[in-house]
A and B are shown apart, each in its own frame.
Chain A
Amino acid sequence: MSEIRLLTGNEAVVRGALAAGCRCYFGYPITPQNAIPELMSQLLPEVGGQFVQAESEVASANMLLGAAATGTRAMTSSSSPGISLKQEAISYMAASHLPGVIVNMNRGGPGLGDIGSSQGDYFQATRGGGHGDYRTLVLAPASCQEAYDMMIQAFDLAFKYRNPVLLLGDAIVGQMKEPVKMWQPAPVNPAEAADWRLEGADGRESRVIMSLYLAEGALAGQNRCLMAKYERMKTEVAAETYAVEDAELIVVAYGSIGRIAKSSVRKLREQGHRVGLVRPLTLYPYPDKVLENLAAQGKKFITIEHNTGQMVEDVRLAVRHHTDSAFFGYMPGNMPASDDFMEPILKALE
């Protein structure tokens, strides 16, 4: 019977990572994710792992790249400005086919912004974030339990596709406290990276992990290979749907906002309004088919986000052959409640 413990989302990320076999953590202080490096610094040594507080988020992301190169389950975490600093390394990891987990507890932006919650990093998270044509898998937890579960999933996906995986949380998910069932996944296969990891060329050809392709046509080949991988990743798409069958209007929202919007939908249902919810769990690959099928049934859409409108573009793309999507952006810097979404949803219902 796995233990249930009251954890913040940040703590759940750490517990999930350790359960997933993470043995290297590289990080740097930034609110609202400080509990992650703090707890890692206590727990990692107990399991024979390595904790390093780096001199910057740039350095910690490159330490992750190094640990990944030896086939080690490793991660880094930060929040918005810090995630911006990690983008070059993440692009290198994607281009070098290196697995690794990056956690972003999204805070208010742009610039220094605030330490409150926001979803302003959606574009950065789902469009690669750094230079070049690449993608990371992106998972979006809305609860401390999902933060735990998705960390385990993130490591498995990272090594399955040899690709960086981003867990996009936010200040709400990171700092709220909930009971978390700390289930233990199957142990890590020690040979999961045996055929590519660096360890010293002992009686074999040396292995090179790099992303420089100067020869004619070489980079084109590499990019085709990356795109083929991202096509294969599409099978990992996942979304929660709630009361969509008879719904006239579908609310689309993810993460903490998806959870708050679910309460709004539930209240409106009790008042007899036929509304439903789609909450994407993976932001890349995006659940566009789910939305398209609902659009084909003539349903209307409203996207609700904690930013000035980012995921709404993906919703519009998904439903473009059938309809459009209304949008309500709750301004970052304030804390939304389910009542804040009632009026915009009702308006979209007309």
Chain B
Amino acid sequence: MSVTHVNEELVFEAPKLMTTKATHYCPGCHHGTAHRLVAEVLEEMNLPKETICIGSIGCSVFIYNYLELDTVEAPHGRAPAVATGVKRSRPDRIVFTYQGDGDLASIGLAEIMHAANRGERITIIFINNTVYGMTGGQMAPTTLIGQKTTTSPGGRTLENEGAPMKMAEIIATLGGCAYSARVALDTVPNIRKAKKAIRHAFEIQQQELGLSFVEILATCPTNWRMDAVTANKRLTEEMIPAFPLGVFVDASSEIKEGAQ
């Protein structure tokens, strides 16, 4: 008589660092995914007990409700400056900002440029979804040419509103930037690469090589006026061509690589 033993192995569960509270994010919004990747990386590196999160103003302003981390809320655009103050006063802590494209590339552009240029040993998690989400879908510095938003109703034009800013490349040119990469959350392979990049960014901080910057392409179904599946498709077909994925500087391995 054959006996079938079924030994079951847990292969995937929510990271402990994430509170069990449902998030306020819209269906299909990638903030949830990005939060989970940060939580997984910090947990795997055993860092939460020495990590300070700098929240920004935007949809992710409630990050402290979802990640069990000591968190300070920075005024809109100022997270890299607040992070500078935190890291300078506690250089022995792991410090990261979590910002959206309006927060980082528009009002906070000076702050991120100079934090990177000074080589602050902080990690920047930058979510690029091409619109201002929290305030209802206005144009952002990363809005694509032709993309309609509530403040570019006819579609963004080069002549009137300029072109989308490629932050990962821009930050990579600054001397104090030790790692700058752009990743995306549209497919399983890309999500896995995104997690590797986030992990590497925190390792760069541990090695005190300078500022580490991860630009994460994400969807905003509600303000793109799409369902989550269509929005995910747009990320693959329109955003990635406009924002090439890859590592633009990696001081740890001296790769001066262009887009993969």
Q: How far is the CB of B24 from chain A (nearest CB, A)?
A: 10
Max chain A C-beta neighbours (<10 A), residue from B67, B75, B89: B89
Q: Is the Cβ of B85 less than 8 Å from the Cβ of A208?
A: no
Instruction: Check if B72 sits within 8 Å of A69, measured CB to CB.
Output: yes
CB distance from B178 to the nearest CB of A (A): 18
B23 CB to closest chain A CB (Å) equals 15
Q: Chain A contacts of B84 at CB under 8 A? A: 26, 52, 54, 59, 63, 66
Contact A92 B86 (CB under 8 A): no
Most chain A CB atoms below 10 A, which of B68, B78, B82: B82
Offer 17 A-B interface pairs, CB within 8 angstroms, sorted by A: A52-B118, A62-B111, A63-B81, A66-B54, A67-B85, A69-B86, A92-B73, A92-B75, A96-B73, A198-B52, A198-B71, A201-B48, A202-B49, A206-B69, A207-B70, A208-B73, A210-B71
Contact yes or no, A200 B89, CB < 8 A: no
Instruction: Chain B residues near A212: list those with CB within 8 A.
Output: 61, 73
Mark out the residues of chain A between 66 and 125 whose CB falls within 8 Å of any chain B CB in the assembled complex.
66-70, 72, 74, 88-89, 92, 96
- Note all chain A residues with C-beta closer than 8 A to B110: 55-56, 58-59
Size of the chain A interface, CB-CB below 8 angstroms: 40
CB–CB A201/B70 < 8 A: yes
Cβ-defined contact, A206 with B70, below 8 A = yes
Q: B48 contacts which chain A residues (CB < 8 A)? A: 200-201
Chain B min CB distance to A271 (Å): 54
Name the A residues within 8 Å of B111 (CB-CB).
55, 59, 62
Across the interface, which residues of A come within 8 angstroms of B51, CB to CB?
Answer: 200
Q: How far is the CA of A138 from the CA of B90 in the complex (A)?
A: 28
How many angstroms between the C-alpha atoms of A209 and B72 in the bound complex? 5
A211 near B: Cβ within 8 Å?
A: yes
Interchain CB contact under 8 A, B88 and A210: no
Bound CA–CA A52/B49 (angstroms) = 27
Contacts of B83 in A (CB 8 A): 66
Bound together, the chains give a CA A96 to CA B68 distance in angstroms of 19
- Is the Cβ of A206 less than 8 Å from the Cβ of B85? no
Quick check: A209 and B85 within 8 Å, CB to CB?
no
B69 with A63: CB separation less than 8 A:
no
Most chain B CB within 10 A, of A54, A62, A70, A207, is at A62
The residues of A with any CB-CB pair to B shorter than 8 Å are: 23-24, 26, 50, 52, 54-56, 58-60, 62-70, 72, 74, 88-89, 92, 96, 198-203, 205-212
Q: Does B114 contact A (CB under 8 A)?
A: yes
Compute the total of residue contacts between A and B using a CB distance below 8 Å. Answer: 138
Nearest residue (CB) in B for A71 is B89
Question: How many angstroms between the C-alpha atoms of A329 and B83 in the bound complex?
Answer: 43
A202 and B89 contact, CB distance less than 8 A: no
**B64 touching A210, Cβ below 8 Å:** yes
Q: Which residues of B contact A72 (CB under 8 A)?
A: 89-90
Closest CB-CB distance, B27 to chain A, in whole Å?
21
A74-B70 in contact given A59-B111, A198-B52, A199-B52 (Cβ < 8 Å): no
Candidates A55, A63, A96, A199; contact of B85 at CB < 8 Å: A63
Closest 5 CB pairs of A and B: A66-B85, A210-B73, A63-B85, A62-B81, A202-B49
Cβ-closest chain B residue relative to A26 = B85
Docked CA distance A210–B64 (Å) = 10
- In the complex, A72→B82 CA distance in Å? 13
Least Cβ–Cβ distance between A61 and chain B, in angstroms: 8
What residues of B have a CB within 8 angstroms of the CB of A56 in the complex? 110
Closest residue of chain B to A51, judged by CB?
B88
Indicate if the CB atoms of B72 and A201 lie closer than 8 Å.
no
- The residue of chain A having its C-beta at the shortest distance from the C-beta of B65 within the complex is A208
B85 lies within 8 A of A69 (CB) = yes
- A96–B90 Cα gap in the complex (Å)? 19
A199 & B71 in contact (Cβ 8 Å cutoff): no
- Residues on B with C-beta less than 8 A from A201 are 48-49, 68-70
Tell me the bound Cα distance from A89 to B71 in angstroms: 17
Q: Are A70 and B86 in contact (CB under 8 A)?
A: yes
State the CA gap A348–B73 with chains docked (Å). 52
- Inter-subunit contact B72/A210 (CB<8 Å): yes
Q: Which residues of B contact A67 (CB under 8 A)?
A: 85-86, 88-89
A54-B81, A67-B89, A207-B70 are known contacts; what are 15 more A-B pairs with Cβ within 8 Å?
A24-B85, A50-B89, A59-B78, A62-B82, A63-B81, A65-B75, A66-B89, A67-B86, A69-B52, A96-B72, A200-B93, A201-B49, A202-B50, A210-B72, A210-B73
